[in-house]
Amino acid sequence: MIVYALFTAAVLFITFHRDTVVPTNRPFSQFPEKVQSWQMSHRNEFSDNVLAVLKPTDYLSRQYINAGKNTVSLYIGYHGGGKEGGGIHSPKNCLPGSGWYEVSTRRGILGIPGGSINLVRAVYQKGESKELFLYWFQVMDRSISNEYSLKLAEIVNSAFYRRRDASFIRVSVPVDSDIDRAVETGEQFIRDFEPLFREYLPR
């Protein structure tokens, strides 16, 4: 009897459960071109073919440069949880598929004013080019650094809050011969921009 009741409840939940589509707090088109010492140097617009694969609710893809001539690329893909939207694509699949191979990857914590971010620090190489990628998944007020925890958070939020919205935030820095300098540049960029991430992304 108990098994039957649980089965019935599961069927009803699957049949009638609908997630709420959650928009960004503000559209990324309003994201500032100048942030502290950083000035936008380039804006990327994805083709329809790329958007058909990624299916973001909103996205931002830009390069910024500071007074020290350090260049950093920022990508934010926001997925609002609608039925027509797509899920987040892991860099572990996308980067090798684009010709990059993994040199090193490690998870860690980045201290920021008033808190911390769980993120991945990864170095990839394509030909003679090396790139440092700092990235994480943002689900409500949580920063997540692995794909399994991301899926679990989405399931739990769907069941309890009717929300499956999540963001992928990636910062990339070219690496010459000094990986420590690239890490320092990328981490400072995140600290400078993190208040804006909280301003634009729903919690």
Best-predicted range by mean pLDDT among 9-18, 31-40, 84-93?
A: 31-40
Q: Count structural domains, the chain.
A: 1
The pair phi, psi for residue 71, each rounded to 5°, is: -105, 130
3 within domain boundaries: no
Name residues whose C-beta falls within 8 Å of residue 27's C-beta, 6 or more positions apart in sequence.
58
- Domain range for 110: 20-200
> Quick one: pLDDT band at residue 18, thresholds 50, 70, 90?
low
**What local confidence, expressed as pLDDT, does residue 3 receive?**
45
Q: What CA–CA distance (Å, rounded) separates 91 from 106?
A: 13
**110-127 residue pLDDT tens:** 999 989 999 999 999 999
Domain membership flag for residue 125:
yes
Domain membership of residue 1 (yes or no) is: no
Q: Does 7 have pLDDT greater than 70?
A: no
The amino acid at residue 159 is A
Helix (H, G, I), strand (E, B) or coil at 180: helix
| 3-state DSSP assignment of residue 78 | strand
Whether the pLDDT of residue 184 is over 60: the answer is yes
Cβ-based neighbours of 105, under 8 Å, separated by 6 or more: 120, 121, 122, 123
DSSP string, 118-147: EEEEEEEEETTEEEEEEEEEEETTEEE-SH
Of 46, 96, 76, residue with least CA distance to 168: 76
Dihedral sign from CA coordinates of 169, 174, 180, 181: negative
In this structure, the chain runs to a length of: 203
Is 14 inside a domain boundary?
no
In CATH, what number is assigned to the domain containing residue 156? 3.40.1000
- pLDDT tens per residue across span 128-178: 999 999 999 999 999 999 999 999 999 999 999 999 999 999 999 999 889
Question: 180 and 172 in contact (C-beta within 8 Å)?
Answer: no
SS3 62: strand
pLDDT digits (tens, 9 = 90+) for 46-90: 999 999 989 999 999 999 999 999 999 999 999 998 776 678 988
Distances from the Cα of 129 to the Cαs of 96, 114, 175, in angstroms? 14, 35, 8
Residue type, 117: I
